Chains A and B, each alone.
Chain A
Amino acid sequence: MSTVKTVNTASTYTLRAKHRRSTLRTLAFLSPWLIGFSVFFAYPLISTVYFSFMHYDGFKPPVWSGTKNWTYVFEHYPFFWPALRNTLWLVLVMVTLRVAFGLGVGLLITKIKTGTGVFRTFFYLPYLAPPVAATMAFAFLLNPGTGPVNSILEKTGLPAPGWFNDPAWSKPALTLLALWGIGDLMVIFMAALLDVPKEQYEAAELDGATPWQRFRYVTLPNISPIVMFAVVTGVIQTMQYYTQPLIAGKVASGVIQGAGTQFEPGYPDKSTLTLPQLVYNLGFQRFDYGSACVVALVLFALSMAFTALLMRRKGGLIQAGER
């Protein structure tokens, strides 16, 4: 009887020790990220909330200011609503066109039978162009005075818009730049399209389906999770849209960084403002850290709402990745 008991305690003891060891092992492996998470995510996030209620210019110590920063941003800061409107425009137009064009190019590349590798490389390359360099290139190509695009348009008798210099055309110009760098979506759609079971196409063909019907009733249902994935990640990327609109505005306006120059973002006429640019403008140009944190929190709420959408959906991010 007593021996059984000892054996029993011994085994629970080893079990517990084993459990503790495995917990320690897990913590050890996770340790880089645990530090990174606390120092570079949790702490600054809490701190951002704290500063959003403070008046702080970086020199004098922060002073409690209640909801003053919040009312300033929402009611008086002239850039906030234009930036939000631009973001909505970009979500509706740029994201939609990018997904449609990405799917189109993905379809095209699966149909191309001769020189597929060369075509694929050509289609993919612009995605790799560093954003600053690509934007600079497009600012040159679309330059109303000396750019090749307008000189070709004029030669063919087509209207030649002001692109990055015209508030009505700056976002379409940015959309063109975004469509140029479609390589990531093309690859994702290509993989998804090649995964559609061949039998379903054969069955549809036997039933006399037209190419459009085949696309509508076979292709689209099969790839719809990937389309959703592309839309939601596209929206999240739009929330982060920073370098391209900023550089486009700077180059087109002719105001470039340098001693004493301050570039008010959004050229022309606030048409290229996006939320991340406001954080920079408020924090690092106006030294109003409190209000910058308010915009940062709006940005955070929007990004996390769409990230939640991505994770909640059946077949969300993780599944799309594991396909």
Chain B
Amino acid sequence: MTQLLDKPLESKAPPSPAERTAHRRAFLEWIAIHSMGVAAALFFTLPFLFVFLTSLMSDSQALSRDLIPHTWEWDNYRRVFDTPGFLTWWRNTLFYAVLGTALTVISSIPVAYALAKFRFRGRSLALMLVISMMMLPPQVIIIPMYLFWAKQLDLSGTLWPLIIPMAFGDAFSIFLLRQFLTTIPDEYLDAAKVDGCGDLRTLLKVVLPMAKPGIAAVALFQFFYAWNDYFGPQIYASENPGAWTLSYGLESFKGAHHTDWNLTMAATVLVMAPVILVFFFAQKAFVEGVTLTGVKG
């Protein structure tokens, strides 16, 4: 604000009336734009704030219409952690998210590389199929998939039906990585070939180091996907509370603490917090990834 106000004053010659109106208009525009910005910021942040404030209310106050806690009950968070199962859900979610992300990245890189840099017949068809897979609602194929995992492999009640497919390439990750890899100039690959590198060595030694931002974006998206996934755990893990994830367990938490909005909101904060923390550490990679495709969400 000060910067903007200072600028007009810096000019040495006394401002002409025309200049003065221009400055005044610029200043009014600044005010208008930034008030709109503040209004929008309130819309985006107040829900977080209300949820957080309610999570600190006492049981009785949470039932009232108050916005601000009379007493700050930090103990609510301990009570959430003490809920049977809550820590198991955390562990399961981390397991699913970390292992799933690792498998996705490892299996998607070679596929994305081939689609980006190899010339072969059927390449555009393969790319079209990848995009179709990416756009496919998971519910379309869930009946045969469930029968396959539950009846043939007897894996229902675990998260394996969600993790194992990630070892075979994830369409969205392949697509995003392919978009990224096509931006790497072919000259680097040719130079590696002249130096006697095979395809695998070229990929590992030349391409991967250059593709780090793309890989980071893919890993983040996949981590968030697993963290947020509700439908998958609902289908495969619902029968076994020992395999529930946070997103799935949170809802049953609400059921068990029917009217305790304070505890439910504390649990909600605990589910949101890790994602937001990860975002703050990896903001750049994330925003880059969104601009790269802007599809998953």
- Residues of A in contact with B (beta carbons under 8 Å apart): 22-23, 25-26, 28-33, 35-37, 39-41, 43-45, 47-48, 51, 58, 105, 108-109, 111-114, 119, 121-134, 136-138, 140-141, 143, 146-148, 151, 180-181, 183-185, 187-188, 191, 229-230, 233, 236-237, 239-240, 242-243, 246-247, 250-251, 254, 256-258, 275-276, 279-280, 283-284, 289, 292-293, 296-297, 299-300, 303-304, 306-307, 310-311, 317-318, 320-322
Contact = CB atoms under 8 A, between A and B. Distances in A.
Contact of B118 (A29, A40, A141): A29
B268 A133 contact: yes
A126 B272 CA distance: 10
A140 B265 contact: yes
Interface stretch (B44-52, B72-80, B189-197): B44-52
A235 to B, nearest CB: 10
20 contacts: A22-B118, A26-B114, A36-B107, A36-B169, A40-B165, A44-B145, A47-B141, A113-B33, A114-B30, A114-B34, A131-B230, A132-B250, A187-B291, A188-B290, A233-B294, A246-B230, A250-B251, A283-B143, A289-B143, A310-B131
B261 A140 contact: yes
A166 to B, nearest CB: 19
B189 to A, nearest CB: 13
A149 to B, nearest CB: 8
A45 B182 contact: no
A48 B144 contact: yes
B251 A41 contact: no
Nearest to A150: B65
Contacts of A307: 131-132, 135
B204 interface: no
A113 B183 CA distance: 31
Interface in B125-144: 126-133, 135-144
Given A108-B33, A112-B33, A127-B297, 18 more contacts: A28-B110, A41-B141, A44-B144, A113-B4, A125-B279, A130-B246, A133-B268, A140-B51, A146-B64, A151-B65, A184-B290, A184-B297, A187-B294, A237-B297, A251-B254, A280-B235, A283-B146, A321-B175
Contact of A29 (B67, B111, B145, B176): B111
Given A131-B228, A136-B264, A140-B54, A258 B252 contact: yes
Nearest to B294: A188
Which DSSP category, helix, strand, loop or mixed, fits chain B's interface? helix
B102 interface: no
Interface residues of B, number: 101
Nearest to A138: B47
Given A126-B47, A283-B142, A114 B1 contact: yes
Contacts of A32: 107-108, 110-111, 167-169
Nearest to A131: B228
Given A32-B110, A108-B37, A128-B276, A321 B43 contact: no
B179 A321 contact: yes
Question: Which of A26, A29, A48, A140: most chain B CB closer than 10 A?
Answer: A29
A121 B114 CA distance: 36
B261 A146 contact: yes
Contacts, number: 288
Contacts of B107: 32-33, 36
Nearest to A121: B283
Given A44-B148, A136-B250, A257-B252, A229 B294 contact: yes
B294 A132 contact: no
B97 to A, nearest CB: 11
Interface string B29-41: 0100110110011
Contacts of A251: 251, 254
A72 to B, nearest CB: 15
Contacts of B67: 148, 151
Majority secondary structure, A binding face: helix
A211 to B, nearest CB: 10
B255 interface: yes
B224 interface: yes
Nearest to B165: A40
B140 A303 contact: yes
Contacts of B90: none
Given A136-B254, A280-B139, A141 B44 contact: no
A187 B287 contact: yes
B275 interface: yes
B103 to A, nearest CB: 10
Nearest to B255: A256
Given A37-B133, A133-B272, A256-B254, A45 B120 contact: no
Contact of B44 (A29, A48, A122): A122
A300 B136 contact: yes
A22 B290 contact: no
Contacts of A300: 136-137, 140
Contacts of A44: 141, 143-145, 148
B63 interface: yes
B205 to A, nearest CB: 16
B295 interface: yes
